[in-house]
Amino acid sequence: MHEVIVIGGGPAGLMASVSAAEHGARVLLLDKGDKLGRKLAISGGGRCNVTNRMPLDELIAHIPGNGRFMYSPFSVFNNEDIIRFFERLGIALKEEDRGRMFPVSDKATTVVQTLLKRINDLGVTVRTNTAVASLEYDDGRIAMVQLKNGERLKTKTVIVATGGQSVPHTGSTGDAYPWAKAAGHTITELYPTEVPITSAEPFIQEKKLQGLSLRDIELSVYAPNGKQIKTHDGDMIFTHFGLSGPAALRCSQYVVKALKKYKQPTIEMRIDLRPTIPAEALFQETIQNIKAEPKKALKTVLRGIAPERFLQYIYERLRIDSNLPCASVRHEVIREIVQQLKSFSFHVNGTLSIEKAFVTGGGVSVKEIEPKTMHSKKKAGLFFCGEVLDIHGYTGGYNITCAFSTGYTAGKGAAEYVHHKS
């Protein structure tokens, strides 16, 4: 009879194994892949954005998918605990912009190897290439883990840490949703989040701005009635199909939800390329520059007001001859250019698929999970942690933070359950 079986060796399952073992339980970790931590190893562009150093309320604000649920798991194991955990194991972390924490080595594999060494030191038994097929219960309690190869493992507790449905080649293929359903859990609708956005606008289709990065912009999503739904600041990039980059990824879930809610084929987005200066001030500043050098070409005087390629596209879009001496350009035209820089509007029609998303939105409903232990409210001895749950954060270390926090909490919860029951 096993004490704790953890299914899934991503950040949630690895931390759950560490925690259950540290709290005195005998742990068996199963993963269907040949390696553990495959998604972790490619996370953060291969550098692993292991957590984020924001204060608690800020951390929660960056977890738009049921962030408030995280108050309890964070009271057990939070971002500072994650930092201490790795530093105690000899992995120095460094802070980058917006509180993002990375290993000093800049290698995600350092994080994976540290976790693997820790579970090894704690005596966790690991079985890779071992896919779980289903879970079995006896009188409302978890009783058995059924493997794909037909083997059945008797156990007191199970921690489900199988991840979401994104980037399936890392092993996250949504296997656990049917198990959770069979246990009586609700699976909220699954959707791609932190995912590039697609657009059928001619300038996108014609690849006019493909590859252009915009820094420190504001990107907004609008409802059909013109109401702003969400704005995110940061960087973005135009791609051959639409937009990507941090600000676009953060806006993506609002695009998905707005398309669904308003049942429209497209949703409007706007970019403010100069968010730190009001439109009127930008207009007046430009007029002063024109007055100072009236004979120079418009494009020369406007250089630097926005990226060159973007300005060229604006001249083309507004049919402006930017070689004209700037003093000959009417003020209404300058206003139009400023308007484009402050509120560049275009329509988007969706996102890439859930498989191509960084994160899966939706999952096992958190209403049916005890937040201090991650124990299922439906079956005794069953625990959930990580992305399989209906919890998701923005990119910036928030998802791995949730995985580690819920993983640690589940491991502790399962170990205490085992000791309490036996």
Ligand X SMILES: Cc1cc2nc3c(=O)[nH]c(=O)nc-3n(C[C@H](O)[C@H](O)[C@H](O)COP(=O)(O)OP(=O)(O)OC[C@H]3O[C@@H](n4cnc5c(N)ncnc54)[C@H](O)[C@@H]3O)c2cc1C
Among 25, 28, 31, 78, binds ligand X (CB under 6 A): 31
Among 2, 38, 375, 379, binds ligand X (CB under 6 A): 38
If the CB atoms of residues 148 and 261 are measured against ligand X, the closer one turns out to be: 148
Q: Is 63 a residue that touches ligand X (CB under 6 A)?
A: no
The CA distance from 180 to 187, in Å, is 8
User: Please, what is the minimum distance in Å from the beta carbon of residue 353 to ligand X?
Assistant: 13
- With contacts defined by CB under 6 A, how many residues of the chain interact with ligand X? 39
Let me know how many helices (H) and strands (E) the chain has, helices first.
14, 21
Phi (first) and psi of residue 321, to 5 degrees:
-85, 105
If the CB atoms of residues 178 and 211 are measured against ligand X, the closer one turns out to be: 178
Among 6, 18, 27, 40, binds ligand X (CB under 6 A): 40
The CA distance from 165 to 288, in Å, is 54
Region 204-223 residues binding ligand X, contact defined as CB under 6 A: none
Residue 139, classed as helix, strand or coil, is: coil
User: Please, what is the minimum distance in Å from the beta carbon of residue 40 to ligand X?
Assistant: 6
Q: Is 171 a residue that touches ligand X (CB under 6 A)?
A: yes
If the CB atoms of residues 254 and 358 are measured against ligand X, the closer one turns out to be: 358
Q: Is 144 a residue that touches ligand X (CB under 6 A)?
A: no
The set of long-range contacts for 262-267, using a CB threshold of 8 Å and a minimum separation of 24, is 262/223, 262/224, 264/224, 265/349, 266/200, 266/347, 266/348, 266/349, 267/221, 267/222, 267/223, 267/224, 267/347, 267/348, 267/349
Residue 355, classed as helix, strand or coil, is: helix
Burial label, 333 (beta-carbon count in 10 A; 0-12, 13-18, 19+):
middle
If the CB atoms of residues 44 and 362 are measured against ligand X, the closer one turns out to be: 44
The CA distance from 417 to 414, in Å, is 5
Region 379-418 residues binding ligand X, contact defined as CB under 6 A: 386-387, 397-400, 403
Among 4, 12, 229, 338, binds ligand X (CB under 6 A): 12
The CA distance from 279 to 272, in Å, is 10
Q: Is 350 a residue that touches ligand X (CB under 6 A)?
A: no
Q: Is 65 a residue that touches ligand X (CB under 6 A)?
A: no
The answer to whether 242 and 197 are in contact (CB under 8 A) is: yes
- β-strand partners of 288: none
Burial label, 334 (beta-carbon count in 10 A; 0-12, 13-18, 19+):
buried
Q: Is 32 a residue that touches ligand X (CB under 6 A)?
A: yes
User: Please, what is the minimum distance in Å from the beta carbon of residue 390 to ligand X?
Assistant: 12
Q: Is 175 a residue that touches ligand X (CB under 6 A)?
A: yes
Edge-to-edge strand list for the sheet holding 213-222: 344-348, 267-272, 213-222, 228-238, 242-244, 197-198, 350-351
Among 2, 3, 10, 63, binds ligand X (CB under 6 A): 10
Q: Which stretch binds ligand X (CB under 6 A): 37-45, 231-239, 280-288, 324-332?
A: 37-45
The answer to whether 37 and 400 are in contact (CB under 8 A) is: no
Q: Is 362 a residue that touches ligand X (CB under 6 A)?
A: no
Region 259-278 residues binding ligand X, contact defined as CB under 6 A: none
* Positions that interact with ligand X (CB under 6 A): 7-13, 30-33, 38-40, 42-44, 48-49, 131-132, 161-163, 166-167, 170-172, 175, 358-359, 386-387, 397-400, 403
